[in-house]
Amino acid sequence: MSTDTHHPSTATGRIVPFPAAMQRAVVSSVRPLARCLLSYLPVLMVAVGTGLRALAGPLWALALVAAVLAIGALVLTLRRRRRPGGRIDWDSAAPYEQAIRAQISPRILTVLDETAAWIGRLGYRIHVYRMECTCGHDGSACSCRQRWFAGTAPMPGRRVVLLVGDRLLEAEADVLRFVMVHERTHVSTVWFAAARARILVVSLAAVAAGILSSGMTVLLAAAGLLLVWMVWAWVIELACDLNAARCHGAAAPQLWAMYTEAGALSRAGLRWWQRTIRLSTLPDHPPVWLRARLCRATHQRRLETP
Ligand SMILES: [Zn+2]
Ligand SMILES: [Zn+2]
């Protein structure tokens, strides 16, 4: 990491060590309310638009949104130029990664290295973070869903953090291989752009719909945009699944069984209202039964074509 352009010791003291920053990101992303707000972002944005219109009238509301966007883009560009790696001390990633590598089996390490090499070829620097228990009830009472899952987090300075649950790291190598093909497909150019465009396009359309329409039209717009939001996410998720099924489809049923078990475990640890909110993440991920069925069909077709 000697090529890094920032020097944490001379920075303004808000640089966070890599493990702490990732832990914070995981904790905030698994909060039921945070997940729910993100799942229903279009509805939230339509409400923001409606509020602005009520406060300032449609013309001023549009001008305000345009100004916020312009200032936001400027601040982001300036910040990136000043600190290309963002607020994370990337020098602290290497010792962290060395320490967790020592605890991971060689077969699993091979899979992680294959994934890192693949994502590296896209021009990213890759880091691995192990998602562990965050509920504080480690052991049989732990209900942390993230321990069974994986994710990719794009970071400033063309870095990608591969987040992998500690339970998933104990699964069979081929199960992890399936998940890793899914994850690396997310980072591939087309699907990465599709995920970014989803947030940008749908959010802007939702704010504009809130500002420009009223009465029944606002409700229809919110419902329509939520549908677009959901279909967009499902297309991305299923494309990543099917790519994984084409490569390692035989391992998929084991993964779906794991997900079902993890879902039941984490639901058991939640209160009723948290369970209700958790159910509502459908706009982000298709249900496991649909993913399982499509993967099985793809794998079958693969076996039948010589
Ligand atoms: Zn836990
Ligand atoms: Zn995915």
* Average pLDDT over every residue of 221-245: 95
Distance 35 CA to ligand 2 centre (A): 15
Ligand 1 centroid to Cα of residue 138, in Å, is 5
- Give the per-residue pLDDT at 129: 97
Gap from CA of 25 to ligand 2 centroid (Å): 17
Residue 25 C-alpha to ligand 1 middle, in angstroms?
A: 15
Ligand closest in space to the Cα of 131: 1
Ligand number nearest to the C-alpha of 242: 2
Read off the pLDDT of each residue in 97-122 and give the average, rounded to a whole number: 95
CA distance 8 to 16: 9
pLDDT the model gives residue 264: 80
pLDDT beyond 90 at 210: yes
Give the ligand at the shortest distance from the Cα of 284. Answer: 2
- The three-state secondary structure class of 241 is helix
Residue 278: per-residue pLDDT: 67
Q: How far is the CA of 150 from the centre of ligand 2 (A)?
A: 8
Q: Which of the four pLDDT bands, split at 50, 70 and 90, describes residue 70?
A: very high
Side-chain-side CA neighbours of 199 within 13 Å: the count stands at 8
Q: Which residue has the tokens 């399936």?
A: 178
Average pLDDT over residues 139-155: 87
Integer-rounded Cα Rg, in Å, for the chain is 21
How far does residue 183's CA lie from ligand 2's centre (Å)? 6
Query: How far does the centroid of ligand 2 lie from the alpha carbon of residue 142, in Å?
Result: 24
pLDDT for 302 equals 87
d(C-alpha 220, C-alpha 227), whole Å: 11
CA of 262 to the centre of ligand 2 (A): 16
* Ligand 2 center to 11 CA (angstroms): 35
* Whole-number pLDDT of residue 281: 74
Examine the pLDDT at 215 and tell me if it is beyond 80.
yes
Question: What's the gap in Å between 239 CA and the centre of ligand 2?
Answer: 9
Helix (H) or strand (E) holding 16, with range, is: strand 16-17
User: For residue 13, what pLDDT is reported?
Assistant: 55
pLDDT band at residue 9 under the 50/70/90 scheme: very low
Residue 3 has pLDDT above 60, yes or no: no
In the reported structure, the alpha carbon of residue 94 is separated from the centroid of ligand 2 by a whole-number distance in angstroms of 26
Distance (angstroms) between ligand 1 centre and the Cα of 271 equals 15
From the CA of 90, how far away is ligand 1's center (Å)?
26
Share of residues in the chain with pLDDT > 70 (%): 94
pLDDT at 273: 78
Please report which ligand is nearest the Cα atom of 150.
2
**pLDDT-derived band of residue 5, with 50, 70 and 90 as boundaries?**
very low
**39-61 residue pLDDT tens:** 899 999 999 999 999 999 999 99
143 pLDDT band, cuts 50/70/90, is confident
* Alpha-carbon gap, residue 263 to 183, rounded angstroms: 20
Overall average pLDDT of the 121-139 stretch: 91
Ligand nearest to C-alpha 194: 2
pLDDT at 279: 67
Q: 179-191: per-residue pLDDT in tens? A: 999 999 999 989 9
- What's the 139 CA to ligand 1 centre distance in angstroms? 8
Q: Average of pLDDT values for 29-36?
A: 82
3-state secondary structure of 129: strand
Q: What is the pTM of this model?
A: 0.88
Which of 1-15, 186-200, 251-265, 286-300 is the least confident region?
A: 1-15
Structure tokens at 150: 């994986």
Q: Which ligand is nearest to the CA of 139?
A: 1
pLDDT at 11 over 60: no
Decide: helix, strand or coil at residue 285: coil
